[in-house]
Amino acid sequence: MKAAIAEGIGTYLLEDVELLPLGPTDVRVRTIAALACVTDVHARRNGGSPGLAKPHIRGHAGIGEVLEVGDRVRRTQVGDRVVVVSRPQCGTCWWCLHDQPYECDTTVAPPPAAARRANGDLLQGSARVGSYAEEMRVAEATVVPVDTTLSDDELLMLSCGATTGFGAAFNTVPVRPGQNVLVMGAGIIGLSVAQAARVGGAENVVLVEPQAARRDHALAGHATHAVADAEEARELLADLTSGRGADVAFEAVGTPAALQEAFMLTRRAGDVVGIGFGHWDDQLVLPFNQVTLRNKRLSGCQFGSASIIRDIPDYARRIELGQLEVASLVGKRFSLDEINEALDAQEACETLGAIVVP
């Protein structure tokens, strides 16, 4: 089968590889579509995550149809339409049993080999997924069957950015009625945060986004205000909150500067949520007394603090009911052969949720 391989930093190569036979808790999935995520733009420029050997199959989010399951797989069966995600939930480790399944032990274990190249080299899948491929060989823990009338494109949005953004404002720091919310970045995550914040009853949702087209898109959707930079946001929030600042600020950019700005724009005793994916050696510097004397709380948020097997089907149902929407996040379509063009489009902010179809 064809897969997009990362050899190091730089463009991905399309190559014919062979999936390894399934272990007892593995699932083989025919890829219906993969999400070309901005995380892969970073990885293409800076290299993949620690623990990921090179070369490997890229792509950490997708949907597909289950073709085959291992003997001990219980979560899904052949024929299911499933969402495959980068945050596994095994259901039995310490974290899964202590209500923090988004830190499932599987998440920090090195991804197992999933396929073999013609030269015999073994390949891992990025984040245990490897969705830029015609098929995926993944652990049951990464697979979420969803029985829904959602289109493939809509369901795909729940495989990464939308679930992350919704969960940030529903799970990590639930937004409450009447709050003034700041969101840094109007990509698929930031827009999903904005929507969930409105659903939670936020009075104002201020998006900070340098790209004018993305600001317009945000304003046509769920943001009440969209500004170009932190200074504009500071003035606007001062007006909206009698000088207090944001009740909750979400960073969805992936730079220390954006998280620092979000922190400084948050009111005393407010909440700051960092969502973006930075470099592994990035450091965050914050004024100490703003945390202690000013009671500001900083939370990390990976994958929307989600229980994937609870939240992804729930979000799908809420979209069916018209309580949430992801149609506005669906971006341009690319073939698997065009994977590098898809990431170029993401890097240039020319599209939101770019779809890669094998």
Footprint on this chain of Zn ion (rule: CB under 5 A): 37, 39, 90, 93, 96, 104, 160
- Does residue 166 contact residue 195 with C-beta atoms inside 8 Å? yes
Residue placing its CB nearer to Zn ion in the complex, 6 or 90? 90
**What minimum distance in Å lies between the beta carbon of 56 and Zn ion?**
16
DSSP of 293-335, one letter per residue?
A: TT--EEEE-SGGG--HHHHHHHHHHHHHTTSS--GGGEEEEEE
DSSP state of 270: E
**What minimum distance in Å lies between the beta carbon of 16 and Zn ion?**
26
**What minimum distance in Å lies between the beta carbon of 163 and Zn ion?**
10
**What minimum distance in Å lies between the beta carbon of 90 and Zn ion?**
3
Residue placing its CB nearer to Zn ion in the complex, 263 or 303? 303
User: In 3-state terms, what secondary structure has residue 338?
Assistant: helix
3-state secondary structure labels for all residues of 137-164: EEEHHHEEECCCCCCHHHHHHCCCHHHH
Residue placing its CB nearer to Zn ion in the complex, 179 or 302? 302
Token pair 């993969």 in the structure block, residue: 34
CA separation, residue 355 to residues 125, 152, 329, 331, 345 (Å):
18, 10, 11, 7, 11
Residue placing its CB nearer to Zn ion in the complex, 165 or 221? 165
**What minimum distance in Å lies between the beta carbon of 340 and Zn ion?**
17
How far is Cα 153 from Cα 333, in angstroms, rounded to an integer?
Answer: 10
**What minimum distance in Å lies between the beta carbon of 155 and Zn ion?**
15
Residue placing its CB nearer to Zn ion in the complex, 160 or 197? 160
How far is Cα 325 from Cα 218, in angstroms, rounded to an integer?
Answer: 13
Rounded-to-10 torsion of CA 148, 150, 151, 154: -120
DSSP of 90-125, one letter per residue?
A: -SSSHHHHTT-GGG-HHHHSPPPEEEE-TTS-EEEE
Tokens standing for 137?
Answer: 């060989």
How far is Cα 153 from Cα 291, in angstroms, rounded to an integer?
Answer: 41
Residue placing its CB nearer to Zn ion in the complex, 100 or 295? 100
Residue placing its CB nearer to Zn ion in the complex, 37 or 230? 37
Residue placing its CB nearer to Zn ion in the complex, 263 or 277? 277
**What minimum distance in Å lies between the beta carbon of 35 and Zn ion?**
6
CA separation, residue 248 to residues 161, 251, 273 (Å):
19, 10, 8
Residue placing its CB nearer to Zn ion in the complex, 206 or 252? 252
CA separation, residue 53 to residues 123, 137, 138, 184, 225 (Å):
8, 17, 17, 32, 43
Residue 176: its H or E element: none
**What minimum distance in Å lies between the beta carbon of 49 and Zn ion?**
12
